[in-house]
Structure 1
Amino acid sequence: MLEHILLQLLLSLVPVFAFQIWYDRPGRRKGIPVFLPLFAILTLILCVHFSKDIVFGLVLDNRYIPYIIGALYGGPAGAVLLTVLYAVMWLPELAGLWDYAGMAVFAILLVPALIMCRRRFHKSGRTMKQRAMTAVSFMIFLKISTLSLLESSLLMGFTTAAVMTTMLYAAGSAALLWVSIMLIEGTMEKQRMHHRLTLVSQDYRNEVQKLQQFIDLTPLGVVIVDRTGVITHINEQAVRYMSDKPESAGRASLIGGQIEDMAFREEASTVRDLLNEVLCGGKLAPDITREEQRVLVRTAFNIRDDVSRDIIGAAVIIHDITEVSHLKDEISRVERLSLVGQMAASITHEIRNPMAVIRGFVQLMHERSSEGQHEYYRIIMDELDRANSIINDFLSLAQNRVIEKESQSLHNVLNMLSPLLWADANLRGQVIEFDFCSDMPFMEMNEKEIKQLILNLARNGMEAMGEKGKLVIRTSCKDGVMELQVEDNGAGIPADQLERLFEPFYTTKTRGTGLGLPLCLSIAERHNGSIKVVSEEGRGTTFVVTFRSEEGSDSLPQRTGQHAG
């Protein structure tokens, strides 16, 4: 008897195992409404074929299990087909009153309950399904136990053995149905959990990718670490800030590593220290440093959990404000120029007219004085001329009027100035060399201002050299961009003075006014140009004036400084 019980048990569980195997493959789930009823039909037939009468009138037959599974989890057509097959296979077995009673229970209670509650069953939660299957299992238990006991009593009367055997068989059959349904529900729940986990993981990956793309596209350097100091996000901009060779320290190789591994250069060490401090709960003000002609602002902060407020990570944002710093310097320069303009406008006429009168009388007194006093009068007139020159520089630097321009070649202006420049160089015991490019196009210029620009730069170079110094003036033109270079071999300019060269009133000369180079820059900018300074201490300085065509320029001209060595 035991082998028949095991055979019925295995046969009744075949649809369950088939469902689990088939459902684990997402691509095949759509075929379950067809596939599962076929398996249920096959199992139902086998259960009927291998059914067997056992003691006390009990029949070992679990056909109802594949029927209920197929009707619940197969398609509507499969449920109808299974119901018809179940009824057809039961009809030949109807021999007595209790068989007809069992058929009536099946047709009146079980079939309508399965058909009407099938859709609601699938939409219910796990708890409701357990309750529903408990109710169905109890119905199965009542049906088997009641009918079997009544039939057994007609044959041999009520006995303790018959009652116990019948009750155990009915309880086992009901439990087997309940376990079968719960196994299927467990498989479906596992797949639903797996699907939800996949969606959550995909959402997490999407959020991580969006965050990383946002970080990658931002012009700021960003480093984010978790509470243990492991780098979770870092963008290429941060790698460029922290490494002399960004290509050798790729972003991908850093993610997942410890912040202690960031040891490319001093900037990386600073970022590492900032992150360690905020991870410990410290609060830092923005850190501003100036290095390698760059101005960097580093802002570090910790990241806290919204609920517990525990520190779960930290971040550093690195912002290159070099351009902002230059703009501030430019604004400061413009403000100084504005001050110069206001001063020039207010005092020019009040000073120049009395000075002209004074110089006229001094010159008259010079002509009538004795020879021994001529030198004194000459000094007075030279100083008056120098004061007048300073006033003229004030006016040139501060003027905002539109200058008149004409088409002219830079070479023509240089050729006109060459005798004067040669004379100045000879007086100082120096040499001047001209190196012109082969083809210099015409440009729109104010000849007087360009002459003043060249004279100022050339004389600055001569003053920076001693005797036997060599001044080279060269020109070049490429892609419509014209360059004028004035190169001396003097002592050079210290790095700390380069940035201030174009500030009004800043001078390193004993008798300088600090207006010559600002005036040169002002002239260059009025001609859509810029000035760059390249200097190396002990070897000399080169002023590079670049002129761009009016049509080809879409940005403001700039002044820059570069220190070599």
Structure 2
Amino acid sequence: MLKDLLLQFIVSLLPVFAFQIWNNKELNWKRMPVFLGVFCGASMLLCMLTEPNFLGCQLDFHLIPYMIGSLYGGWPALALLTLICVIVQYPTLDNFQELASFILFTAGFVMLMSISYRPFHQLSALRKERNGLLLMSVLMLYLVITLTGSVMEWTFDLVLEVVLTVSATLLATWLSIFIIESVKEKQLLHEEVTRLSVNYRNEVEKLQQFIDVTSFAVIVVDCEGRITHYNEMALKLLHIRIELTESGNLLGTYYSKAFQPGQGDLFVNMISQALNGTRATLVPFVSGDKMLLKTTFSLRSLLNNEAEGAALMVQDVTELSQLRNEVGRMERLSLVGQMAASITHEIRNPLAVIRGFVQLIQERSPASQREYFQIVMEELDRANMIISDFLSLAQNRALTMELSSLNDILNELLPLLNADANLRGQTIDTSLCEDMPLIMLNDREIKQMFLNIARNGMEAMDDHGVLQISTHYWNDRIELRIADNGEGIAQDKMVHLFEPFFTTKTRGTGLGLPLCLSIVERHNGKIDVNSIEGEGTTFIVTFYLQQEEKAV
């Protein structure tokens, strides 16, 4: 008897074992009702074909896969299992009483499973176990009552068989639900871990994308000091070892071995302090012509606030510094404008009066003293010129522009420049573009700018110097080049070339080039200067064409 019960017990658990195999292979959960229906049906067949016959009573475990398949497989599994049960058991019915009892039990079972299916799936795992045991207990009670009516005499062995069968059935029922729910919980945990892993990977990818596109140089290290993230800006701004950048093996390298000795010592010290818990610091640093702003901070765990790494961020603020200098220059120009407004009324008129009286005294003085009066008048004219440059530089009124040819403006001034060059013993070489388009210009200001730069070039050359003037035209811009072969400009003076009051000439005002720059900028252009000491200087004035100008 025990062997038969053990065989029935094992066979009834076959769907559960198959369910575990199915789950381990991570197959599609949507096919589970079909799967359970097939395996529970096979288990039912094996249980009914191997049912023990003890003392004239046939007791098997086919109700276990029948109920498990119906609860977890739903209507498809319930219909399939009921059909199998009818096909197998109907031929074994001997009389009308057995047929009626079978029909009544089957109908009751189908109705009970139909009512219990949806509520069962909404229960927790523990309550599913209790609910499954309750349902099986109801079925066992019905079968025991039915068996009582058919047994003529209850013996000890028969009672023992019934008790063992009912106990084993309830145990198999609980074990089946327990294993299925444990596997489902494991599957849910696996799916949650997979989802978290995917989310973590996505967040890491987003972090790396952010690091890659940011204008900051970024290096992130873990708590052990290994580099976990970096971007291209870090390779450009930071002093990373060349062999690491070329081989691409920077990830996983200890930060202390990633930087070049000497130049990268400051970065190593800052990261070390951040790993030790030092708060974020901002450190300005000048490297060649670049100004860098460096900061480090600790990366801490949200759970225990312990340091889990550190980050080094370096920003190139060179452009910001240049913009700050430009703002300072504009402020100085604004101050110049205010000064010029006062100088116009306070100085220019008295100078005109003084010059008039000096000229009058000159006419009444001996010829031997006229040279002194001439010097006084030249100095008065020079002072008046300085005032005029003040006024021109301070002007911020709207310009009246019209379509003009740059070549025509230059051709008007070339005779004047040639005459000046002849007096100096110099030569002017011109090369003007033939197909020059018309652009919006203010004739008077362009002439002033051109004369200032050209005369500066002539003053920078000695006798027999050559001043080259040329124009060029590309798709969207026009260039005016004025090149001399004079002494050139020292590199330390180039950065101050367009600052007001800065001059390399003994008698210069330092306002000519700032005035030229102001004129060009009002025409939405720019001025570039290339100079080599001992060889000469080239001024490149660029004007950009607008869409309407291109169409002309």
Please state which band the TM-score falls in when normalised by the shorter chain.
0.7 to 0.9
- Counterpart residue number, 2:44: 44
8 Å contact from structure 1 (residues 5, 60) kept in 2: no
Check 1:394–1:28 CA distance in 2 against 1; reply closer, same or farther (3 A cut): closer
Deviation string 1:15-71 (CA, Å, 9 cap, x unpaired) is: 2233333445566432332332233223212222122235x7775733222222222
- Number of the residue aligned with 1:455: 451
| Residue 476 of structure 1 pairs with residue 472 of structure 2 | yes
Given the two structures, how large is their TM-score scaled by the length of structure 1?
0.80
Is the aligned partner of 1:517 residue 2:513? yes
Aligned to 1:485: 481
Q: CA deviation at 1:125?
A: 1.9
In the TM superposition, what is the alpha-carbon distance from 1:73 to its structure 2 partner? Answer: 1.7
Counterpart contact for 1:235–1:251, Cα < 8 Å: no
**Residue 358 of structure 2 is aligned to residue 359 of structure 1:** no
Whether 2:89 is the aligned partner of 1:53: answer no
1:31 match: 31
Q: Counterpart of 2:131?
A: 132
Q: Aligned residue for 1:387?
A: 383
CA RMSD of aligned residues (A): 4.3
Distance 1:551 1:90, change over 3 A: closer
Distance 2:493 2:262 in 1: 25
The equivalences for 1:244-283 within 5 A come to 249=245, 254=250, 258-260=254-256, 262-263=258-259, 273-283=269-279
Q: Give me the whole-angstrom Cα distance separating, in 2, the residues matched to 1:435 and 1:261.
A: 58
Q: Deviations over 1:437-462 (max 9, x none)?
A: 34333434333322321222123234
How far residue 394 of structure 1 moved from its aligned partner, in angstroms, is 0.7
Residues 244/437 of structure 1: CA separation in 2 closer, same or farther (3 Å cut): farther
Residues 406/9 of structure 1: CA separation in 2 closer, same or farther (3 Å cut): closer
Counterpart of 2:62, as a letter, is R
Structure 1 partner of 2:532: 536
2:13 matched to 1:13? Answer: yes
After superposition, give the CA deviation of every residue in 1:532-553 in whole Å (9 maximum; x if it has no partner).
Answer: 1223344433221112235479
User: What amino acid does structure 1 have at the position aligned with 2:509?
Assistant: T
Q: Distance in 1 between matches of 2:326 and 2:366?
A: 53
Superposed displacement of residue 316, structure 1: 3.9
Q: In structure 2, what is the equivalent of residue 201 of structure 1?
A: 197
After superposition, the C-alpha distances for 1:395-420 in whole angstroms (9 at most, x for unaligned) are 11112234444544333333343344
AA at the equivalent of 1:21: I
Residue 63 of structure 1 aligns to which amino acid in structure 2? H
Q: Secondary structure at the match of 1:16?
A: helix
Distance 1:405 1:81 in 2: 93
Give ranges in structure 2 of 5+ residues lacking alignment: none
SS at match of 2:501: coil
Preserved CA contact (<8 Å) 1:239 1:251: no
1:120 and 2:119 matched = yes
Amino acid at match of 2:77: G
Residues 269-309 of structure 1: CA deviation (Å, up to 9, x unaligned): 76555444323222344333455654443343323333422
| 1:376 matched to 2:375 | no
Q: Map of 1:29-108 to 2, 5 A cutoff?
A: 29-53=29-53, 61-83=60-82, 86=85
**Alpha-carbon separation, structure 1, partners of 2:493 and 2:239:** 28
Query: Kindly, what percent of the aligned residue pairs are identical?
Result: 45
Instruction: Name the counterpart of 2:296.
Output: 300
Q: Residue 219 of structure 1: CA displacement?
A: 4.4
TM alignment of 1:431-446, pairs within 5 A: 431-446=427-442
* Shift in Å, 1:351: 1.5
In structure 2, C-alpha distance between the alignment counterparts of 1:43 and 1:339, rounded to whole Å: 99
Q: CA deviation at 1:392?
A: 0.9
Counterpart of 2:376 in structure 1: which amino acid? I
How far is the alpha carbon of 1:494 from its aligned partner?
Answer: 3.7
Q: How high is the TM-score relative to the length of structure 2?
A: 0.82
Report how far residue 431 of structure 1 moved: 4.6
1:557 is matched with none
* Corresponding letter in the other structure for 1:66: P
Q: Report the more deviating stretch, 235-244 or 472-481.
A: 235-244
CA distance 1:37–1:353, shift in 2 (3 Å) = closer
Q: Distance in 1 between matches of 2:176 and 2:110?
A: 19
Structure 2 counterpart SS, 1:440:
coil
Cα pair 2:297 2:312 within 8 Å, conserved: yes
Structure 2 CA distance for aligned equivalents of residues 209 and 57 of structure 1: 71
**Match in the other structure for 1:562:** none
Instruction: Please list the CA deviations of residues 158-192 of structure 1 after superposition, one character each: whole Å capped at 9, or x if unmatched.
Output: 48xx8777755654443333223322222222222
Stretches of structure 1 that go unaligned for 5 or more consecutive residues are 554-565
* Equivalent residue, structure 1, for 2:334: 338
Deviation at 1:208, TM superposition (A): 3.1
Tell me, in whole angstroms, the C-alpha distance in 2 between the residues paired with 1:14 and 1:440.
93
- Closer/same/farther in 2, CA of residues 426 and 14 from structure 1, 3 Å limit: same
Distance 1:295 1:87, change over 3 A: same
Q: Report the AA paired with residue 117 of structure 2.
A: R
Q: Deviation digits for residues 473-502 of structure 1, max 9, x if unmatched? A: 222111241111222344443444333221
Deviation at 1:519?
0.7
CA distance in 1, matches of 2:262, 2:449: 42
Aligned equivalent of 1:178, options 174, 179, 182: 174
Q: Secondary structure at the match of 2:13?
A: helix
Q: Give a deviation string over 1:353-397, Cα, whole Å, max 9, x none.
A: 221222233233334444543332222222111111101101111
The CA deviation at 1:255 is: 5.1
Partner amino acid, structure 2, of 1:117:
S
Distance 1:283-1:487 versus aligned 2 partners, 3 A rule: farther
For residues 381 and 456 of structure 1, what CA distance do their matches in structure 2 show?
22
Q: How many aligned residue pairs are there?
A: 548
Decide which moves more: 137-146 or 430-439.
Answer: 137-146
1:527 is aligned with what amino acid? H
| 2:187 equivalent to 1:188 | no
SS of corresponding position for 1:67: helix
- What letter corresponds to residue 129 of structure 1 in structure 2? K
- Report if aligned partners of 1:41, 1:66 keep a CA contact under 8 Å in 2: yes
Deviation at 1:211, TM superposition (A): 3.6
Residue matched to 1:559? none
Q: Distance in 2 between matches of 1:499 and 1:41?
A: 92
1:415 aligns with 411
8 Å Cα contact 1:138/1:174 also seen in 2: yes
Q: Secondary structure at the match of 2:479?
A: strand
**CA 92–549 in structure 1, closer or farther in 2 if over 3 Å, else same:** closer
